[in-house]
Amino acid sequence: MIPNHQEFYRGRRVLVTGGLGFIGSNLARALATLDADVLLVDSLIPDYGGNLFNLAGFESRLRVNVADVRQQSTMDYLVRDREVIFNLAGQVSHIDSMRDPATDLDINCRAQLTLLEACRRHNPETKVVYAGTRQVYGKPATLPVDETHLVRPTDINGINKAAGEYYHLVYDNVFGVRACSLRLTNVYGPRQLIRHNRQGFIGWFIRLAVEGKEIQIYGDGSQLRDFVFVDDVVDAFLRAGATDAVNGDVFNVGGMEPISHRDLVELLIGTAGSGSVRYVEWPAEKKAIDIGSFYSDSTKFHNAAGWRPEVNLRDGLRRTIEYYREHLSKYLEIGS
C-alpha cells in the first residue's frame, strides 16, 4: 500500500468521469489541491447532478470536457494519457431507472463498456476506480452487510450498476486493465443535487430542513441506514486509486454506525434549527423497491487500504447545512 496516498497524486494525470457531479466535483477539488493534473468529463445531462458551480474557485486548476461517456471516439481520446481514472459517470436514480429502464441500461452498462474498451485499446496501463453502490445487494439477508452477501438487486438501477461493476472486474481479470469497485452507501454533503428528490432522500431532507419545510418520513421511520460524508468518500477513492492491493475486487464504503430515519430527521432538524416532520404512508412505487434496513461493514476496505470514516453524522450535517445556506440558489436553478 502507498504510505502516503495523497502524495501519490502530485503531478499525476487523472481523469474523473461525472466530474461536475456531487462526488466527482468534490474529488476533483481534492485532486487539484494535491497538485494532480486533473481532467474532468461530464455530459451535464439535466437532472443528473452536474453543476458548473461545483467547481467554484477551482476553475483555473483543472480542465473540463463537456462530453458524453457513451461516445467511443471521445473516450478513446480522453483516456490516452491518464494514469488514474475515477469512473463516477452514471444514472443513480432508482425511481428513474424503473420509469425509463432503457436509458439506465445505456448509461450504466454501455457507457461503462465504452470507457473500458477505450482503456483496453488505448491505455491498458491505467488504473480505474468505479463508483459502485450498496444497492446491488438488494434487501439484506443479514446485517451488517459485507462483500460476501449475495448480489440480488431490487430495481433496474441496481441490476445495471452490478453489471457495470462486473465489467470492470472482467477487464481487470481478463485484459489486465487494473480496476476495482467501491460500493458506496448513502453519501451526503456539499454539492449534492437537491433540486428534486429522485436521487435519494438524504439530500432532499437536508434541503427541506434548510428551507424550514416539512420532512415526510415513510412508515414509522424505524428503518436503519448508514451515512457517509462526501469528504470520507473522496478519501476512499484517493486510497483506492493509489494502491494495487484493491485491484480486481469490490469493497464496501459505509458510515460509522446506523441510525433510524426517525432519529436522523430529529438530528437534522435539531442541527438546522428549522424544519418539521410528519409520518406518512409509503407510496406504492417506492415501497415496491425499498430494501428496508441496511448498513454495511467496511472492514475489508479498511484492511486493504487503511480507510475508515472520520466525519461523524452531526458534524457532517452541520457542514452540509452551512454550505447550502450560503449557496442554496445555485442548487435550485434549472440546469443545476
- Rounded distance between C-alpha atoms, residue 266 and residue 271, angstroms: 9
- Give the three cell numbers for residue 102: 432503457
Are 330 and 53 spatial neighbours (Cβ–Cβ below 8 Å)? yes
Angstrom CA distances, 1 to 8, 152, 198, stand at 11, 32, 38
In a domain, 193, yes or no: yes
Residues in the chain: 336
Question: What is the Cβ-side half-sphere exposure of residue 152, based on CA atoms within 13 angstroms?
Answer: 8
- Rounded distance between C-alpha atoms, residue 192 and residue 43, angstroms: 17
In a domain, 123, yes or no: yes
pLDDT in tens, 94-137: 677 788 888 888 888 999 999 999 999 999 999 999 999 999 99
Confidence check: pLDDT of 199 > 70:
no
In a domain, 2, yes or no: no
In a domain, 139, yes or no: yes
In a domain, 336, yes or no: no
pLDDT in tens, 246-272: 999 999 999 999 999 999 999 999 999
DSSP 8-state symbol, 145: B
Task: Flag whether the pTM goes above 0.75.
Answer: yes
Are 300 and 310 spatial neighbours (Cβ–Cβ below 8 Å)? no
Q: Give the number of domains in the chain.
A: 1
In a domain, 180, yes or no: yes
**Domain extent at residue 128:** 7-331
What percent of the chain shows pLDDT beyond 90?
Answer: 81
Residue with cell 436522523: 264
- Give the three cell numbers for residue 163: 453489471
pLDDT in tens, 276-314: 999 999 888 778 777 889 999 999 999 999 999 999 999
Q: The domain spanning residue 56 has which CATH number?
A: 3.40.50.720
State the pLDDT confidence band at 81, using cuts at 50, 70 and 90.
Answer: very high
In a domain, 97, yes or no: yes
In a domain, 61, yes or no: yes
Confidence check: pLDDT of 1 > 50:
no
**Which amino acid does the sequence have at 262?**
R
